[in-house]
Amino acid sequence: MRVVMVSKALIVGSYQRKLEELARLDDIELTVIVPSGWREGRAITPLHRAHTAGYRLIEAPLAFNGQYHLHFYPTLGRLLRSLRPDVLHMDEEPYNLATWLALRQGRTIGSRSLFFTWQNLIRRYPWPFRGFEIANYRMAAYAIAGNPTAETVLRAKGYTGKLAIIPQFGVDPDLFEPAAAQVPPAAPVAAGRPFVIGYAGRLVPEKGVDVLLRACALLPQSNWTLHLLGKGPAQEHLAALAGQLGMTDRVFFLGHRPSTQTAEIYRTFDVLVLPSVSLPNWVEQFGRVLIEAMACGVPVVGSVSGEIPWVIGDAGVIFPEGDADALSRALAGLAGDASRRAELARAGRQRVLAHFTQAHIASATAQVYRAMIA
C-alpha cells in the first residue's frame, strides 16, 4: 500500500519516530511531504531531520507560510501524480485551504484520503472555510480525531463518515525514559536540594503560567525552584510577576530547546505542571508535554482545561483551572510525599506505554489505512 502523508507538524524531529514505526510495517510504502520550515510570527522553525529511516521525506514549497487557514503546497498536485498513493493522509484540519486542495488533487488520481482534527470546540467558520469543511467531509474516506471531544465536535458539525480517535503523535519511550532503571527512585528530595517544579510549553496567557507562579508563591515550603522550558510573548510579563512576588531568584527561564533534547530537562524536574486556562475560543487540545514527562517518570499535575484530564487519567493530579490555591496545595502535597510521587511516576510511565507511544499511534494509524482500502 502506497501512503503519502502531508504534514507541516513533521518538521519536528522527535515527531518523525512515528514515521519510522509506520515504515517498519511490511504492507506500507511511506512518503512524507513537509515544508522546509514553519513560520510563527517573526520566528521560523526549520525542518529537523532526526528520524528518517525506512521512508522517503520530501521538502516541498509552502505558500502563505504561517497562515494556518490559508497555507498550501503549490507543487503537491504534481507530486501526487508522480507518487500515485493508495492513501493520502492530509495531516491538517478540514477547514484549511491546504486540506481542500489536497483532497481534490487526491481524488483526481483515485487516492483514498483522510484528514486530521484536534478541534475540540464547536467553532463556526465564515465562508470559504466553512465551504472547505463541508467539501472535505464529503471527499474524505476517513477522519482521525486527536481526542474524544474532537470526535463529538466533528459529528456536531456534520461529518458522518468513518472516524478513529488517535492522537497525532506519541512519544518514543526509549528517548523519553526515566533517569534511573527503576521508575523512579522512591526517595525524598535530598537534603539541601530544592524541590524542582517544571513547566514546558509556550509562554502565552492561555497556558496559565501566571497561575503557576502565584501557586508557587503560596507554597509553605521554602526550598523550591521553578523551571520554565519554552519561550513566548508572555515571558516579560511573567518575569515581572516573579519579581512582584519576590521570587526572581527561584524562577528560571530555560528558553527553547530542540525536541530531541527536552527529555534530559524533564528528568531534572520533581514534578511537571500544565496549568492551562480555557478561553472562549481555545481549550487545551491534548498537552503533549504531559505524556513526555510521564514517559520520563516525572509526576504530572494538570488543570481541568480541555483534554488534560483524559490524557492524565488516574496517573497524575488534576486541579480546577485558574485556582492557584488548589495548585499550591497539590504541589505542597507532592513535595512532602516521596512515595506518592513514586506511585504517580510509575503510573504515568505505564499509561504512556499502554496508550501513547509512537509505535502504538503508528499501529492504530496503519489500521485506518487498511480499513480505507479494504
Q: Is residue 95 part of a domain?
A: yes
Q: Is residue 190 part of a domain?
A: no
Same-domain status, 65 and 110: yes
* Tens digits of residue pLDDT in 33-62: 999 999 988 888 999 999 999 999 999 999
Given phi > 0 = left and psi -120 to 50 = alpha, else beta, which region is 117? beta
Can you read off the three cell numbers belonging to residue 132?
472547505
Same-domain status, 351 and 364: no
Same-domain status, 108 and 15: yes
* Tens digits of residue pLDDT in 211-262: 999 999 999 888 999 999 999 999 999 999 999 999 999 999 999 988 778 9
| 155 Cβ neighbours under 8 A, 6+ residues apart | none
In contact, 348 and 330? CB cutoff 8 Å: no
How many independent structural domains does the chain possess? 2
Please give the residue range of the domain that contains residue 14: 2-170+357-373
Same-domain status, 209 and 85: no
Q: Identify residue 27 by its one-letter amino acid code.
A: D
pLDDT band, very low/low/confident/very high, at 330 (cuts 50, 70, 90) = very high
Peptide bond into 128 cis (omega under 30): yes
- What's the predicted TM-score (pTM) here? 0.87
- CA–CA distance from 337 to each of 6, 274, 294, 343 (Å)? 46, 20, 18, 10
Can you read off the three cell numbers belonging to residue 147?
481526542
Same-domain status, 351 and 222: yes
β 87-90/112-117 pair status: parallel
pLDDT band, very low/low/confident/very high, at 179 (cuts 50, 70, 90) = confident
pLDDT band, very low/low/confident/very high, at 190 (cuts 50, 70, 90) = low
Q: Is residue 182 part of a domain?
A: no
Q: Is residue 262 part of a domain?
A: yes
Same-domain status, 255 and 289: yes
Q: Is residue 248 part of a domain?
A: yes
The CATH number of residue 251's host domain is: 3.40.50.2000
Q: Is residue 188 part of a domain?
A: no
Same-domain status, 215 and 158: no
Q: List, in sequence order, the alpha helices (H) in the chain.
A: 17-23, 76-83, 97-108, 129-139, 148-156, 209-217, 235-244, 262-266, 288-295, 308-312, 324-335, 338-355, 358-373
Given phi > 0 = left and psi -120 to 50 = alpha, else beta, which region is 251? beta
* Tens digits of residue pLDDT in 254-311: 999 887 789 999 999 999 999 999 999 899 999 999 999 999 999 999 999 999 999 9
Residue 236 to residue 242: CA distance in whole angstroms: 10
Q: Is residue 189 part of a domain?
A: no
Single out the residue of 185, 16, 19, 13 nearest to residue 3, CA to CA. 19
190: DSSP letter: P
The mean pLDDT of the chain is 94
Q: Is residue 158 part of a domain?
A: yes
pLDDT at position 331: 97
In contact, 252 and 219? CB cutoff 8 Å: no
Same-domain status, 53 and 157: yes
